[in-house]
Amino acid sequence: MQRDSQIFDLIQKEHQRQLHGIELIASENFVSDQVMEAMGSVLTNKYAEGLPSKRYYGGCEIVDQSEQLAIDRAKQLFGAEWVNVQPHSGAQANAAVMLAILNPGDKILGFDLSHGGHLTHGSLVNFSGKLYQPSFYGVEPETGEINWAKVREVAEREKPKLIICGASAYSRDWNYQALREAADAVGALLLADISHPAGLIATGLLNDPFEFCHIVTTTTHKTLRGPRGGMIMMRKDFENPYGLKTPKGELRMMSSLLDSGVFPGTQGGPLEHVIAAKAVAFHEALSPSYKEYTAQVQKNAQVLAKSFVDRGYKIISSGTDNHLMLIDLRSKDLTGKLAENTLIKADITINKNMVPFDDKSPFVTSGIRIGSAAVTTRGLKEQDMDRIVDYIDRVLMNHDNETILSETRKEINNWMQQFPLFSY
């Protein structure tokens, strides 16, 4: 068979891009060689609708074992009683949960997208805002942090059936106990989407959502450093609180409802090669070195935040507890779009991002989001974070000087050679 040189040339170019630059997108990371090996394995050939030992296809004896291994390792990693590792993404994990426990038109309460929330937490352009009635809570203008008492006030006013916590651009830890009290006050279920800080939660560096939240979803990449995918978990199974019935009329435990929300509710055959890669990532995350890694991620993020503040940048909430931070560039008279496009010329990758109470469109934005997970995987430490911020500041303050941008890019490319990636 003739080799597809066009696509493999592009893959090689992406390989070089990742090697040469500084990766600061908070939702990205670098997986290990064995995670990539599992994703590129023959398991991609197997169709396996259903659950381990309950498939609709024959020949699933081996993938039953690999998927069960992923489930068992995830349970051990998070202290969960029930796990479904089949969702193709975090968005599909959230969709499956909502399909399982909500009816179209039910009320949901989520963290405002423009304040750092996620599309699947009720955004009007997303299924979650189109199928359900969303309301939102946000951060305080003065502090950039969530006021938990106000969340309860919104819950008591709106009386949602589901409260969602978690974010894509919020740098502080979550008060899950206060959110559970708000949920209990109105008879709502509480869903924690821990897609971003999952790795730091698994290693005990942040508050444990499983103690208070009925259901937990996550992606398996980002700080978990696995393949791109999703997962749904519960610390303990429980009878569904709404008396939801199957077409046959019987009541189900919540785990059964959630399994059905994934398949056949929102997906067909699971990606068994990706599930095997999830199992590999969970195995890595159970090692002592991974706990050291997440601690370094947190330290690096805190040094990054301080370095930005020392140079006059405004960090929303004035710092970070996790792996990311949101920077308001209006005090520097810059837009997020300009910053993203300029930094890429120096091989520094970030993403533009809305900031709370933004006066610009989502396509321009007033902010940027920075994360420490990928550079920490690469081996950078605290002393390197100040150098990164120096590069960012130099580029942004000289965004119209192509000579400085080119010189900075060469410096970065040379520096990154000290931090190799991959074994090939």
Name the catalytic one among 49, 386, 407, 411.
49
123 in a labelled binding site: no
Binding residue per annotation — 118? yes
- Pull the structure tokens for residue 42: 């023959």
Residues 270/50, Cβ–Cβ less than 8 Å? no
Active site residue 49: yes
CB 128 within 8 A of CB 110: yes
The pairs formed by 247-252 with CB atoms below 8 angstroms and a separation of 24 or more are none
* Residue 47 near residue 57 (C-beta atoms within 8 A): yes
On whether the CB atoms of residues 133 and 106 are closer than 8 A, the answer is yes
19 annotated ligand binder: no
Separation between Cα atoms, residue 379 and residue 187, nearest integer Å: 46
* Token output for 410: 């060469």
Phi, psi of 23 (to 5 degrees): -95, 115
**Start-to-end Cα distance in the chain:** 24
Structure tokens at 45: 């050939």
Catalytic residue among 222, 225, 278, 378: 222
Note whether 347 and 414 are within 8 A (CB): no
CA distance 159 to 187: 8
47 is catalytic: yes
Beta bridge partners of 314: 328
Catalytic position from the list 23, 112, 158, 193 = 193
To the query of whether residue 219 is one of the catalytic residues in this protein, the response is yes
Residue 162: enclosing H or E segment and its boundaries? strand 162-165
Instruction: Please give the distance of CA 283 from its chain centroid, rounded to a whole number.
Output: 19
Q: Which residue has tokens 């997986």?
A: 31
Residue 222 among the catalytic residues: yes
Residue of 152, 228, 314, 378 with catalytic role: 228
CA distance 126 to 404: 41
| Residue 113 in marked binding region | yes
> Does 119 show up as a binding residue in the annotation?
yes
Q: Of 203, 217, 219, 335, which one is the catalytic site residue?
A: 219
Which tokens hold the place of 51?
A: 């659950």
Q: Other CB atoms closer than 10 Å to residue 189's CB: what's the count?
A: 22
Count Cα neighbours of 238 within 13 Å in the Cβ-side half-sphere: 13
What is the rounded distance in angstroms from the CA atom of residue 113 to the CA atom of residue 54? 38
Tell me if 363 is assigned to a ligand binding site.
yes
Length of the chain: 424
Binding residues for (6S)-5,6,7,8-tetrahydrofolate: 113, 117-119, 361-363
Binding residues: 113, 117-119, 361-363
Give the catalytic positions in this structure: 47, 49, 193, 219, 222, 228
